[in-house]
Amino acid sequence: MTDIEREPWRDLDLFAPTPEHQLLAESLREFVVREVEPQAADHDRAERFNHALFLKAGDLGLLGVTIPEEYGGAGLDPIAAVQVLEALSTSDPGFGLAVLAHSILFTQNCYVNGNEEQRKRILPKAVSGEWIGGMCMTEPGVGTDVMGMATTATADGDDYIITGVKTFITNGGIDENTLGDIFIVYAATGPREISSFLVEKGMDGFALGQKWVDKLGMRASYTTELVFNDVRVPKVNLLGEIGEGTKHMMRNLEIERLTLAAQATGIAQRSLQVMTGYANERKAFGKPIRDFGQIQRYIAETFAEWRSARSFVYDTARRINLANTGQRVDADATKLFAAQVGKRAADAAMQVLGGNGYMGEYVVERLWRDAKLLEIGGGTLEAHHKNLTKDLCRDPSLLS
Ligand SMILES: Cc1cc2nc3c(=O)[nH]c(=O)nc-3n(C[C@H](O)[C@H](O)[C@H](O)COP(=O)(O)OP(=O)(O)OC[C@H]3O[C@@H](n4cnc5c(N)ncnc54)[C@H](O)[C@@H]3O)c2cc1C
């Protein structure tokens, strides 16, 4: 062994840098094999969210890895959040999306931007899974162009009155008839001014709209419309200060994009496992298909892309600041790159498997459908192109 090899920093495992991350990785591996994998195909087929599995994830502490221990969380960091979403997505990206919407879009957002009363009242129930949360930004007429939102909140005595419709809300419902428990809702409080509100099940005028059925993928998560018909929300449910909504959104989007990118690396990893296994077993023209150059190209290119995307995701996780913005370039770029890697990986796996790849039994068909969402949700590829070009052209130091 040379002196260089003995330097301790070389022992750093980028994907599990501390004993806590290593423990988390182990419990995730076991949870995925024992609990997630056996139900994944059925819930996709039935377009059903697995509430019981969600509660088990809560019991294991997977719904609050970034939340401090005093509120019931594990007190870990963005690397842990990436580990959770990546591992779940090797098996069931749809269920992973429900976990992401709850633990990152709602719970993490509520922790960073909420006050002490809100944290104490809400976070323990969210971290355990007793309450299921989500985040409402998108509307029927507005997605990427968030500043154009039509939902309004108007002050009225001790309350705000929220009026509007949100759509494509993950965890909007738990089943056909049951609304999710609590949501962060972005609403306009003035011209080009957005504020964030906590809207809870049971508030008058707050209702479950249509459930989107026949989604291409991510079918194990519920996607619904939510209707706000003059919902009276007490002022104590304002998150942060009036007009801070855009700041909250931008802070949360970084970890959202990073964890969505982790979903893509999970999909790529599983796709590689499936295609290499199959290339070993399947024979054509008297030899294993792994011997054919074109099959080798699918496997080797996918491996190189997966390793690159994964390293990028974990490196960004190491540097991202959960309390503030600052890594928008990397958060956008990880998702821009990883989302496409995930989709290409599932596609390559399907090609390697031939007709079998097209069949549900071999898993990659489901991953292929799930992967597409990552090029749309949490910011489209085009939104990432726009943000990245704007930031990079404005600040040359980002390239030094
Ligand atoms: C399964 C699923 C789950 C979701 N979960 C949630 C959730 O929990 N909460 C939530 O708030 N939202 C959620 N969304 C919504 C998602 O974030 C939006 O669909 C996404 O932001 C895009 O918005 P849009 O669909 O309105 O498309 P649009 O913004 O209308 O875009 C249409 C097309 O125009 C392009 N475009 C728009 N503006 C520009 C521009 N300036 N330059 C170049 N191209 C542009 C887009 O890239 C896209 O190709 C979910 C969506 C899906 C499908």
> Residue 9 pLDDT > 90, yes or no?
no
Q: Which fold has domain 3-132?
A: Butyryl-Coa Dehydrogenase, subunit A; domain 1 (1.10.540)
Question: Picking from 18-22, 170-174, 265-269, 323-327, which range would have the lowest pLDDT averaged per residue?
Answer: 323-327
Beta carbon of 104 within 6 Å of any ligand 1 atom: no
> Residue 335 pLDDT > 60, yes or no?
yes
Beta carbon of 217 within 6 Å of any ligand 1 atom: no
- Position 5 scores a pLDDT of 66
- Position 361 scores a pLDDT of 95
Beta carbon of 93 within 6 Å of any ligand 1 atom: no
Dist. CA 357 → ligand 1 center (Å): 29
Dist. CA 245 → ligand 1 center (Å): 18
Closest to 194 in 3D by CA, of 170, 162, 232, 234: 162
Using an 8 Å Cβ cutoff, are 265 and 335 in contact? no
Average pLDDT over all residues of the chain: 97
Q: How far is CA 334 from CA 256, 340, 384, in A?
A: 11, 10, 10
* Sign of torsion over alpha carbons 331, 337, 340, 343: negative
> Residue 1 pLDDT > 60, yes or no?
no
Percent of the chain with pLDDT over 90: 96
Ligand 1 atom, smallest distance to 136 CA: 11
**DSSP-based three-state secondary structure for 68:** coil
The identity of residue 45, as a single letter, is R
In the chain, the N- to C-terminal Cα span, in Å, equals 34
Residue nearest to atom 27 of ligand 1 (CA): 143
Query: What span, in angstroms and rounded, lies between the C-alpha atoms of 103 and 119?
Result: 14
Ligand 1 atom, smallest distance to 137 CA: 11
- Please give the positions annotated as active site: 256
- Position 2 scores a pLDDT of 59
> Residue 269 pLDDT > 70, yes or no?
yes
- Position 34 scores a pLDDT of 98
Residue nearest to atom 14 of ligand 1 (CA): 168
Residue nearest to atom 7 of ligand 1 (CA): 169
pLDDT band at 3 (very low <50, low <70, confident <90, very high): low
Ligand 1 atom, smallest distance to 217 CA: 1
pTM over 0.95, yes/no: yes
The H-assigned helical ranges of 205-284 are: 245-281
Using an 8 Å Cβ cutoff, are 387 and 395 in contact? no
- Position 194 scores a pLDDT of 98
- Position 169 scores a pLDDT of 98
pLDDT band at 260 (very low <50, low <70, confident <90, very high): very high
**Mean pLDDT, range 94-120, rounded to an integer:** 98
Could you tell me how far CA 197 lies from the centroid of its own chain?
21
Beta carbon of 135 within 6 Å of any ligand 1 atom: yes
Dist. CA 375 → ligand 1 center (Å): 9
Using an 8 Å Cβ cutoff, are 264 and 374 in contact? yes
- Taking only the tens place, the pLDDT of each residue in 220-257 is 999 999 999 999 999 999 999 999 999 999 999 999 99
- Position 176 scores a pLDDT of 87
pLDDT band at 213 (very low <50, low <70, confident <90, very high): very high
Q: Where are the domains of the chain?
A: 3-132, 134-245, 247-399
- Position 181 scores a pLDDT of 98
> Residue 387 pLDDT > 60, yes or no?
yes
Query: What span, in angstroms and rounded, lies between the C-alpha atoms of 307 and 300?
Result: 11
- Which CATH superfamily groups domain 247-399? Butyryl-CoA Dehydrogenase, subunit A, domain 3 (1.20.140.10)
Beta carbon of 144 within 6 Å of any ligand 1 atom: yes
**Mean pLDDT, range 113-132, rounded to an integer:** 98
Query: What span, in angstroms and rounded, lies between the C-alpha atoms of 274 and 268?
Result: 10
Ligand 1 atom, smallest distance to 218 CA: 1
Q: What class does CATH assign to 134-245?
A: mainly beta
